[in-house]
Structure 1
């Protein structure tokens, strides 16, 4: 009888323990509701912070740049969770200008459903589908682009990238202006690009969790990425069938994820 009593007691304790463990697991892993996801774009040049007009940076072609403007359009955001499901942000609200000049380097995506997100995808520029909706179809973004020097004209289209400053080199000894403006010019020169970045650390979204994804944008890659573009050879790059696509590819490669901050809403 004593042996049977001991076995019964041990079995009961194990059952209670298993039940409690199961309850704890269910409560700790479930993410409910929705919240915002913030993307902070931290502009740099190589390993240095980007400081407009006050610092100089030398590229691999021994050209020394003083940067006075770095603006670019980011758009069409989507987030992929740990189950491979993609949440696509509302297209009408998915166009933003990040500007080092104005300090507008934060993108806030509202009403993201709860989940564990492992990657982010976004475009650089404005896609043809959006542009072909006409001026009326752009909503408030058209005004934002005009106010931040991201339009040539409505007919000529958006500037996806506005990168300006002065430079010197071995043969250009006096400070000379440079301008790199990249966009799409009709279907024959569509420079809109998309990039997908693994977050490294999962971004957790719930009623109580509003993550901040810190991205680094390396301006050095614009001219000194996979495609090497010399300002000494050409200091103004705008509508160029040869060089604009190379700028677009370089620009798409300048983004990386630095870290993810998971915390309550508005905490950094």
Structure 2
């Protein structure tokens, strides 16, 4: 009997050792439904899978996603520019870009296109609330801050601002979806272009190490570049998303 129990125990250990259980991790991002966020989800979801985690995204309004991630309420922040490290010291940046932010200026058709920041100095500029880089970019410039992409285009089309700023893929999609090609003009070049990164709360150093190691290997093999390019083909991706 003892021999049978020992054999049974060994078999159970062997079976359970072959089963891998994925852990859940919640990652914060801002509440706006944008292609930039969709692309980041499409990049990070399979990478988390590779290190044994199921990633769910929790959306928060504006800067609250950074506050929640920095406080440790969530496991990290989905996608931001590197500069947020200065203001949110509890967030550790994974040092491999998962995309890039191309900030474009949009004007009404017939108006001069804006291709650089110096051209905005004497203009009224519309931006979205909670996007830190846009807030920084328009410091010292007359601006109007709104809560949605719909409102952003509305204040441009009704003449309340001279131009609006936002990411290129989301501008292109909005123009296409709302048949605005004849009414607006996008600048020929980006006002600003910066790499985007994923951030993990400092309490999860093990996850940080695993992600960094996995993404380093993917970068060296070329897999990361292919994944980012595929995600940024501007196709909508599916994910576990919770709104707050």
TM-score norm. by structure 1 comes to 0.24
Choose between structure 1 and 2: higher helix proportion.
Answer: 2
TM-score norm. by structure 2 comes to 0.26
Q: Which of the two has higher C-alpha Rg?
A: 1
Choose between structure 1 and 2: higher strand proportion.
Answer: 1
User: Which one scores higher on RCO, CA 8 angstroms, separation ≥ 6?
Assistant: 2
